[in-house]
Structure 1
């Protein structure tokens, strides 16, 4: 998976995606999701690093079946809040 971290005035923004969805566009009904290099491109990491990044995130965008399923398994995302966009999964995390 790829992880990209950015510090913002509001806190840590984390973008996570499966490597195979980078550069792809997914569409479903009125939703279009482009997994672009600028936002999602980052360091290739394993599960433990993804978990660490999500644990420190204030906001996270997660795309791809593997990444979203890991976020669900680790309790960051409720499965009921996951979107199916085309052939992939998308979830957002916001800690308040």
Structure 2
């Protein structure tokens, strides 16, 4: 998986995606959703699952794309599967922690 961390005014922003979805565009015609997984936003370091879990646990805001990445976030209790979007052939989840 690819992982990027950015410090923002809203706190730690984490972007994580499956490597194979980088550069792809996914569309859900029924819902009118289009998702482009850009190098500028999602391109980051290749990391293992433990690093992804650690980063997401510290995130204030997160964007997660790809079946593996989203499944990991669900299994670790970071996101609720009911809030996951299926966009074309991939999955997408967002996380926002309110304090």
Q: What's the TM-score, normalizing by structure 1?
A: 0.99
Work out the number of aligned pairs and report it: 96
Structure-2 separation of matches of 1:44 and 1:56: 18
Equivalent position of 1:47 in the other structure: 49
Question: Helix, strand or coil: the match of 1:89?
Answer: strand
| Alignment-derived partner of residue 36 in structure 2 | 34
Gaps of 5+ in 1: none
**Pairwise CA distance, 1:22:** 0.1
Deviations 1:4-62 (A, max 9, x none): 00000110000000000000000002100000000000000000000000011000000
Please give the root-mean-square deviation of Cα atoms over the aligned residues, in Å.
Answer: 0.4
* SS of alignment partner, residue 52 of structure 1: helix
* CA distance, structure 1, for counterparts of residue 11 and residue 38 of structure 2: 22
Q: Distance in 2 between matches of 1:60 and 1:92?
A: 6
Residue of structure 1 equivalent to 2:88: 86
- Give the gaps of 5 or more residues in structure 2: none
Residue 4 (structure 2) pairs with residue 4 (structure 1):
yes
SS in 1 for 2:53: helix
Taking the aligned partners of 1:25 and 1:81, their CA distance within structure 2 comes to: 20
